[in-house]
Structure 1
Amino acid sequence: MRGEPVQGPMARLLFFGARTQQELPYFGPLPSLPKDFIDTNFAFSRKPGQPKKYVQDAMRERAADLAVLLKDPNAHFYVCGLKSMEEGVVLALRDIATGAGLGWESVGSTLQREGRLHLETY
């Protein structure tokens, strides 16, 4: 169920952002994927009548789940998208780590050194 902590060694979270639902590639099949396969979280920055919501905002909403994954030595984090989003996503990870009592300098450098933080931005 949404809002419950992810569990198990194969927990998968996907944060997907777009301006609107209509601009989201692959939107059709994404919401119908089973939550026990992948927990999909959407962020739309241009929904009429609603405040802007970015991927980093959705990540902060799921901070407890991401904190568990930041502590998991087998977890990998993939960031793909525009270069302009990279900083916000990394800052969200830093804030989540700090909020969980983890030192981001240590966690972030370990993730990079071990090849578990993948930044594919353009």
Structure 2
Amino acid sequence: MTEIDADVTYSSCIGGPVTAGTAAVTSTAQASCLLSGSSTVTQQTSWNSGATSTTTGDTIATRPLGQTIVVTRGTVTAGLFADAQFTQTVIFVHPDPLACSATGVAPSTAP
């Protein structure tokens, strides 16, 4: 198992009391650039309004054609938007998927 940490930036949020935010994401998962997998994710978000949210969700990662598609479904467990359900989809494109069998892939950034 590998601990996976990520920093997330939300911008251009519409339809609510916030317009932007940043989050720290923590997950423990079987990390592989070839195999699909699942994990539980916790996220702490700080919104531009000064409010915060804590979310917990279950993640499924699939890896078609040199990409990693991560879908997380869960609940806001505390803070702003408490008790709301969410679905988040992130697509990572790996520029060198063959590196998995040799040196390993470098850290990724999702657009």
More strand by share: 2
Higher relative contact order (CA 8 A, sep 6+): 1
Q: Report the TM-score when normalising by structure 1.
A: 0.23
TM-score relative to the length of structure 2: 0.25
Question: Larger Rg: 1 or 2?
Answer: 2
The structure where helix makes up a greater share of residues is 1
